[in-house]
Structure 1
Amino acid sequence: MTAPAPLVRTVLGDIAPADLGVCDAHDHLFLRSPRLPGQELDDPAAAEAELRAFAALGGEAVVQWTPIGMGRRADALPALSRTAGVHIVAATGLHQAVHYDQDALRHLADGLEERFVAELTGGARPDDAPDGAPLTARAGMIKVAGGFHGLDAHTRRVFAAAAHAHRATGAPIGVHLEGGTAALDVLELLCAVHGVPPHRVILGHLNRMPDSRTHRQAAEAGAYLAFDGPSRAHHATDWRLLDCLVSLVEAGHARRILVGGDTTTASARASTGEGPGMPYLLSGLRTGIDRELGPEITAVFFRENPAEAFAVSWP
């Protein structure tokens, strides 16, 4: 039997990878966490304004990495995608334990594998909705998180569930690396222990620890490397971002690189906050990449690599 053609699962349905277009490979339209009090991304109008500003610069797709229990507003994403004319890929998954009320976390931990698979294949419910509430858009990726230079018991439990969901669906696994650390530990656990193919793993926040040796090792293993800056919350290493990208390209790893904005707070939005926001990914960072590496490599980062990283032969 011939395997089904790879497709990118968006909140409005599956599309051909070539139709994804210019992609912000890691960002947030909705997000809340006790770690970011008063900075919630919870305003649909502000999310639409940010998407429209991104689209005005040629942006065609956004991958929202907000997982279960963090205000991801799966119910609002389809309408936003239609009105702004931008493809949106949603996430299932779970973040670090510190981002959750512990009672809520214990409830979420029950049946984690089944929930991840259900959200990838059938659809998600709003985080606060009862079990009988209508399903909304299906997720197109799994979001998990490592710790700072290590992996705790919660992380290992969530990674095992994510690997199960990957095996059931083929969905890519995006990993929050705390401070950009533990990238090789993550690959060891997901790939060597749980058997996830490295090219199905997307390592996020590598720009926060600009260690080119680790970057090259992760790329050589076959993982995708997400450089999700500039970021107001993590500006300290933004000035090293282009150096990291140039180093990887010179080492022959251009096909392993993704770029995103990672807007995590209301103040970081361009349309309603202080910026730089989602549009700066195209108005600023893309310009710098184009100048340093040329338009062909820029297209690889923004078009070709996301089309491959998020494409799945869904069952």
Structure 2
Amino acid sequence: MIETVGGAVPADALGRVSTNEHVLTDSRHLQRPTREGLQLEGLMRPDIVGDLRWSYMSLSDNLTLDDPDTAVAELALARTAGLDTIVEATSWGMGPRHAELPDIARRSGVNIVAAYGGYIDKTLPAWWRDQSEDDLENAYTTALTVAVPGTGFRAGLLGLLGTSAEITPAERRGLRAAGRAAHAAGAAVSIRLDGAARRAPEVVEILTGQGLSARRILFCNMDKVLDAAYVGDVADTGAVVEFAFGSENYFADGARDATDGERLAFLVRLLEDHPTAAVTMSTSVWTKGQLARHGGMGYAHVVRRIVPALGRAGVPAQVLDDMLVRTPARLLDRG
């Protein structure tokens, strides 16, 4: 069975799954000036889209998803396009609003599996960051087996746990605690690695050292590091690797997203070179600029555009179903 915000459901009821999305979140603390040193102000609007593509973190309003009605409408569009389930991965440090998720799931018609965890050190509120390892393990166990605090549902997995370029003591405590709690509950852990580092093997070692199977580890946004040898080695550990499509923005001079063309070509090669790799996909929506109403690709991008493109590139239908349906269900199924 798989824990959703509407209760436990059979694994075969999930359908097509996006394994790393955000519905309500707040990352305004990550705002930075434009690449030219300017400050953008005001709300999301058409005339600012070009500025954001050039300096994506420069508008405060872009860095929050704050309206449940908008979330319902955007997810309903994705449901119409064929997306059945999302993993909502907003953790502490990203402004989670867990209690509002069941209503959004009901109104949109999309299953929501809620993750629970703490993000990268620099984003964490002090009350979370300064917890002991035992306290973190207790918090994770409670979320997985009793309920996410302030809600009536259990977490479907732990995450999104973040790691910095150098894993900090707080992040290391969180990883160890999550590994033990997830192992005991038969659950998975999702990880967002710093794109400038190559920390996945170390994270696998930490988590498996607490008893967690590598097959219960999901590395999100692996498209941030399109290094064939590195990603191939991660896939060969048995961990699940996720590719997020739809965002093609600059964050600083010399720091940009890959294009979807680059992601597609890389994924096709990975599937050819590592045919047993466990792969999932997402759009990793976490900002207003990614929503369809603001000119973004929206939550439906993978099912509407990426899956057909992979099919045209020769990826067999069975492999596409593995990435969208079977692999996410195996990852999330707690028996």
Matched, 1:12 2:14: no
Q: What are the equivalent positions in structure 2 for 1:262-281 lying under 5 Å apart? A: 262-271=284-293, 273-281=294-302
Which residue identity lines up with residue 148 of structure 2 in the other structure?
Answer: A
Matched ranges for 1:192-211 at <5 A: 193-211=209-227
Residues 295 and 109 (structure 1 numbering): CA distance in 2 closer, same or farther, change over 3 Å?
Answer: same
Q: How far, CA to CA, are the matches of 1:186 and 1:19 in structure 2?
A: 31
How far apart are 1:221 and its partner, in Å? 1.0
Quick check: 1:176 aligned with 2:198? Answer: no
Letter in 2 for 1:28: H
**What residue identity is the alignment partner of 1:279?**
A
Secondary structure at the counterpart of residue 142 of structure 1: strand
Q: What SS is found at the alignment partner of 2:15?
A: coil
Shift of the alpha carbon at 1:104? 5.7
Equivalent-residue separation in structure 2 for 1:26 and 1:104 (angstroms)? 22
Partner of 2:22: 28
Q: Is the counterpart of residue 117 in structure 1 residue 133 in structure 2?
A: no
**Is the contact between residue 30 and residue 66 of structure 1 (CA under 8 Å) also seen in structure 2?**
yes
Question: C-alpha separation between the residues in 1 aligned to 2:113 and 2:122?
Answer: 25
For residues 273-302 of structure 1, the C-alpha deviation after alignment (integer angstroms, 9 at most, x for no partner) is 221121212222122122111322211111
Contact kept in structure 1, 2:21 and 2:87, CA below 8 Å: yes
1:205-244 aligned at under 5 Å gives the runs 205-233=221-249, 236-238=257-259, 239-244=261-266
Is the CA contact (8 Å cut-off) linking 2:180 and 2:211 kept in structure 1?
no
Per-residue displacement from partner, 1:40-91 (whole Å, max 9, x unpaired)?
A: 1121011101110100101100011111353222111111111111111001
- Indicate the SS of the match to 1:275: coil
**Are residues 232 and 99 of structure 1, via their aligned partners in 2, closer, same or farther at CA, if it must alter by over 3 Å?**
farther
The equivalent residue for 2:155 is 139
Letter in 2 for 1:30: L
Residue type at the aligned position of 2:155: A
State the alpha-carbon separation in 2 of the partners of residues 103 and 23 from structure 1. 33
Aligned AA for 1:48?
A: V
8 Å Cα contact 1:178-1:205 kept in structure 2: no
Query: 1:110 offset after TM fit, Å?
Result: 7.7
- Name the SS of the counterpart of 2:130 in structure 1: helix
Taking only aligned residues, the RMSD between alpha carbons, in angstroms, comes to: 2.0
Work out whether 1:282 is the aligned partner of 2:306: no
Distance 2:128 2:230 in 1: 35
- Separation in structure 2 between the aligned mates of residue 194 and residue 107 of structure 1, nearest angstrom: 19
| Equivalent position of 1:190 in the other structure | 207
CA contact (8 A) 2:242 2:279 kept: yes
Aligned to 1:132: none
Q: What is the SS of the residue equivalent to 1:179?
A: coil
Helix, strand or coil at the partner of 1:312: coil
Task: Give the structure 1 partner of residue 42 of structure 2.
Answer: none
Report the equivalent of 1:102.
Answer: 126
Q: CA deviation at 1:229?
A: 2.1
Q: Deviations 1:107-126 (Å, cap 9, x if unpaired)?
A: 69782111111111111234
Gaps in structure 2 of 5+ consecutive residues: 32-59, 251-255
In the alignment, which residue of structure 1 is the partner of 2:279? 257
AA aligned opposite 1:25: T
Aligned mates of 1:264, 1:108 — CA distance in 2: 29
**8 Å contact from structure 2 (residues 245, 301) kept in 1:** no
Q: Is the 8 A contact 2:247 2:257 kept in 1?
A: no
The 3 A distance-change label for structure 1 pair 219 and 255 is closer
Identity across matched positions, percent: 25
Question: In the TM superposition, what whole-angstrom CA distance separates every residue of 1:152-209 from its partner, at most 9, and x where no partner exists?
Answer: 2121111011012112211100000111742222112212x32321101011111111
Q: Which amino acid aligns with 1:265?
A: T
Deviates more, 1:135-144 or 1:107-116: 107-116
Change in 2 beyond 3 A, CA 1:73/1:108: farther
On the 8 A contact 2:121/2:168 being kept in 1, the answer is no
CA distance in 1, matches of 2:248, 2:134: 35
Q: Which moved more, 1:73-82 or 1:50-59?
A: 73-82
Q: Give CA deviations for 1:235-273 in whole Å, capped at 9, x if unaligned.
A: 6313321122112211243550000110111121113x2
Cα separation, 2, equivalents of 1:260 and 1:90: 15
In the other structure, the counterpart of 1:300 is 322
Q: Distance in 2 between matches of 1:104 and 1:155?
A: 11
Aligned pairs, number: 296
TM-score (norm 2): 0.83
CA distance in 1, matches of 2:249, 2:8: 33
Decide which moves more: 16-25 or 92-101. Answer: 92-101
Distance in 2, matches of 1:69 and 1:185, equals 22
Q: Which runs of 5+ in 1 are unaligned?
A: 1-6, 127-134
**8 A Cα contact 1:290 1:297, kept in partner:** no
